[in-house]
Amino acid sequence: MYIFPHDPNWKVDFEIASEKLTEVSELEIQLHHIGSTSIQGLSAKKCIDILGVISDFSLGARLIEPFESLGYVYKAEYGIAGRHYFSKVEQPKIHLHVLPQGHEQIGIHLHFKNVMSKRPELVKELNEFKKELSDQFPKEIYQIKKKVFYDNVAKIKL
């Protein structure tokens, strides 16, 4: 099983990671807890997703060394143009998405969090959907199949 019930410690994990990232960064960076672990009551994989917003993509190179000193691995854009992607595998596992202000992915991530945080019926629906998918499919296929739900949430206006 790779999906777990919501854990209030995920918020604490984000806060600790955020504090450490801010301490080592010489850049101004806004950090947001995103993804399933950021939404009260939502089941998730045990991985904290963090969105970092910087003023300009080119400045992201100045984050590599300081973030690597904290155990993050830099993976460049990793499939999304204009993103600096870092991962940390020791617990808590963290995926850090650093994007420049104005990047379309910022709005997508924050919109999902906002919608899900205000619509408990969608949290319940997504929990059921995730359970169904995780019982039937390996992680890679689960990721692809749950995209349908996320795409539908993206269309919801608040």
pLDDT for 1 equals: 66
- pLDDT at position 158: 86
pLDDT value at residue 2: 82
What gap in Å lies between CA 114 and CA 119, rounded to an integer?
9
Mean pLDDT computed over every residue of the chain:
96
Mean pLDDT of 86-92: 95
DSSP category for residue 85: E
Catalogue all structural domains in the chain, each as residue range(s) with its CATH number: 9-154 (3.30.460.10)
* β 48-54/94-100 pair status: parallel
Per-residue pLDDT tens for 141-151? Answer: 999 999 999 99
**The pLDDT of residue 85:** 98
- Give the Cα separation of 139 and 141 in Å (integer): 6
Cis peptide before 92 (omega within 30 of 0): yes
> Does residue 10 surpass a pLDDT of 80?
yes
Q: What is the pLDDT of residue 81?
A: 98
Residue 103: is it exposed, middle or buried by C-beta count within 10 angstroms (0-12/13-18/19+)? buried
pTM (predicted TM-score): 0.95
Reduced to 3 states (helix: H, G, I; strand: E, B; else coil), residue 158 is coil
